């Protein structure tokens, strides 16, 4: 996720590659950063990177968060720096305890999905001890990567289900539709492009028009037509219930 955020920030034009410092645990990791993010500063020295940053994004696995914070804590300037955690499942209160700052630091949790890399992501942000100005700065950073919502911490799990797990759920529908397209007679590559553009078009139509999905569905569903027959067949197989059950299972 750290790489996706970095690539998105550079692609957005809001940040220059030289403005970013990325760290890796190994020489092979550094090589991957240099290959995928040319111009970005890269180092294995976490304290050095942290000391030079204004915004620190902790994009590590949850089980590494304590180790990383322990390593960089002496290099932190809590009065100057903003700390953003992308580690799932680590609460703001847990972060504050790990940081053990002399005064309550400005902390953020951000849950982006992988589409931030192509500037079409969804990111949920919650905050603790942060001013409106600090929140606006972090919001603006992720807003350059797509749709961004500031919410409370109790809604992060639901946001993760809808937007992060939701990416996989949408892709699973697309995979199924592609397989159906092959059975209907298209070559696999043709079916893939058709489904990709269809899903992209459906989302764009709703975003640009503001229509509720059911209103848009009614516009292409005629009495006795093939669309309603297909929709009803999917519902008999539990389509809507399966989607809702999948989302609820993520919480």
Q: What is the pLDDT of residue 239?
A: 96
Residue 55 and residue 141 in one domain: yes
Do 121 and 239 lie in one domain? The reply is no
Tell me how many domains the chain contains: 2
Residues 112-129: b if buried by 16+ CB within 10 A, e if exposed: bbebbbebebbbbbbbbe
Note the pLDDT of residue 82. 94
- Predicted confidence pLDDT, tens digits, the chain (251 residues): 888 999 999 999 988 999 999 998 888 888 888 888 889 999 999 999 999 899 999 999 989 999 999 999 999 999 899 999 999 889 999 999 999 888 889 999 999 999 999 999 999 999 999 999 999 999 999 999 999 999 999 999 999 999 999 999 999 999 999 999 999 999 999 999 999 999 999 999 999 999 999 999 999 999 999 999 999 999 999 999 999 999 999 97
96, HSE (Cβ side, Cα atoms, 13 Å): 14
Boundaries of domain holding 49 = 2-151
**Are both 142 and 164 inside the same structural domain?**
no
CATH number of the domain bearing residue 172: 1.10.3730.10
The pLDDT of residue 73: 92
pLDDT value of position 209: 96
Domain boundary among the residues 102, 129, 151 is at: 151
pLDDT the model gives residue 179: 97
Answer for the pair 35, 147: CB distance below 8 angstroms, yes or no.
no
Same domain, 15 and 119: yes
Contact 138/109 with Cβ under 8 angstroms?
no
Q: Are residues 58 and 121 in the same domain?
A: yes
| CA dist., res. 176 & res. 164, Å (int) | 19
Res 150: pLDDT: 96
Return the bridge partners of 147, or none.
Answer: 122
pLDDT (0 to 100) of residue 14: 86
CATH assignment at residue 52: 3.40.50.720
Place of tokens 């020489």: 27
Q: Are residues 171 and 138 in the same domain?
A: no
């Amino acid at each position: 996720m750290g790489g996706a955020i970095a690539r998105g920030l550079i692609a957005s034009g809001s940040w220059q590659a030289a403005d970013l410092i990325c760290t890796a645990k190994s020489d092979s990791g550094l090589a991957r950063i240099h290959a995928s993010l040319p111009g970005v500063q890269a180092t294995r020295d976490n304290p050095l990177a942290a000391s030079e940053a204004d915004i620190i994004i902790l994009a590590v696995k949850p089980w590494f968060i304590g180790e990383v914070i322990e390593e960089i804590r002496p290099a932190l300037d809590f009065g100057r720096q903003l700390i953003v955690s992308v580690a799932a499942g680590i609460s703001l209160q847990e972060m504050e305890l790990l940081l053990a700052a002399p005064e309550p630091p400005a902390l953020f949790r951000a849950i982006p999905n992988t589409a931030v890399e192509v500037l079409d992501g969804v990111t949920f942000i919650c905050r603790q001890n942060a001013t409106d100005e600090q929140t606006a700065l972090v919001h603006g950073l992720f807003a350059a990567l797509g749709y961004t919502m500031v919410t409370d911490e109790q809604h992060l799990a639901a946001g993760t289900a809808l937007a992060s797990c939701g990416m996989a759920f949408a892709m699973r529908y697309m995979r199924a539709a592609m397989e159906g397209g092959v059975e209907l007679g298209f070559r696999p590559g043709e079916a893939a492009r058709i489904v990709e553009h269809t899903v992209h078009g459906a989302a764009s139509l709703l975003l640009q028009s503001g229509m509720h999905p059911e209103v848009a569905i009614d516009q292409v569903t005629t009495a006795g037509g093939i669309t309603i027959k297909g929709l009803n067949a999917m519902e008999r197989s539990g389509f809507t219930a399966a989607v809702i059950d999948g989302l609820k299972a993520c919480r």
